[in-house]
Chains A and B, each alone.
Chain A
Amino acid sequence: MTMAHPTPPPPRQGGLALRLIGVVPPVLMQPALGRIVRRIAALHPSIFQRLGDCRSATFVIEPRDMGFALVLRPDPANPQLRAVKRDAIPDHRARISGDFLTLLALVDAGADGDALFFSRDLTVSGDTEAVVRLRNALDDVEGSIAGDAAALFGPPGQFLLSRLRDAAANVTPKEGPHAI
């Protein structure tokens, strides 16, 4: 390590899980992501009613601390979720950016999108209405979307999610105590 690098964050619970996700090449994620989005669509068909005309929109979900971005197309007939390299992001209607754990907290029913926006932990670009629609549609899903996704992969999936939740719980907020 050289002086030019920032001080590494203190080791934390789940940090390994986080780093693991960061190094998986996008191509290896595709089958799992495809299964996740089809599963969520099958479990929660009411999402699509709330999405309205955004069902054919392309959303980019960008974990700023990872080497990849997720591309979501919530088409009920053919829902798609895939990972792309950060330098190969396709045309899209809207983009949501934040740290991986912040984004995870959003789909784990643990975080309030407005509060994360106020603190600038989350940024939005492109069609703001599409983002609001997606956020509201996902928020009407009871339980945790992240939990549903993890359950698909049995005990390993649930273990990974629990480690990530630990990591999220240990994140120090930018300012002020978070009640969430």
Chain B
Amino acid sequence: MTQTRPARAALTLGPIAYHWSPRIRRDFYARIADEAPIDAVYVGEVVCSKRAPFVEDALPEVVERLRRGGKRVIHSSLAEVMLPRERKATAALVAEDALEVEINNAAGLLGADGRRHRIGPFMNVYNAETLDELVRRGAEHVCLPVEMRAPSIALMAARGQQIGVGIEVQVFGRAPLATSARCYHARAHGRTKDNCRFLCEKDRDGMPLTTRDGSPFLRVNGIQTLSETYVALGDEVAALQAMGVSHLRLMPELVDMVAVARLFDGLRCGTMAPDEATARLAELSARTPLSNGFYHGKPGHRHLVAQA
């Protein structure tokens, strides 16, 4: 009896969460386009609509560069939609027939009816019933919330395979833990969102929050709160592929992302041993601890070592 090898998952690069300048973005994506074994790249500003003009500034060049490098490009929409400019931006993006779009807020669903689109990790697709409902209206790919546990991921992947929908899981990078209407970067400097002066641009790695007894805990990224740790599901790649997860997402961080992509490429192809990959990831991540607690149903910050 032959055992079918699980299909190899595609490797994707999620949207940059931080406020990186247009110059940094261009350089970052140029290297990804040329060197990283990544199949698809999500671009666009997801966190803060005030940053969007800066991001859009570099976007045409970035998209062209990535396409030339053979990458599929998907445009991600804002996670929080409340202000008129956010509503307009979301509606305009989903109406754009020429672009492939990932929707991160229900505001985008209204205009997307019937059009092909992807659903992002901020959309809370936790179960097959929700998946089916979104697919009925044109969704063909879903990135699951970062806090999903393995048994539920397995069921979602199985359903995805059954109905021909891509299921994506974040396997690397800080976990997006919360968003708010309030800008915590501005707040730390005695300002408000409206007169923030883009303080967040100085913190390319987010603003660290440490507990009063000295433990690094969270990273503030404007209105978003990220984990201090990098989610790192290196040991879990084989299991994810066996479940039928079709896409593995890396989130851009201030580390050598080409090297990270190569590690996960080795893992998905079975050419690299998980323990070796995890050791290399820890090296690349330097002072930032790794975590995989969410996947294992444990506190998200924890890192559980696979049993030999």
The reply to whether A and B meet directly (CB within 8 Å) is: no
| Chain A positions near chain B (C-beta within 8 angstroms) | none
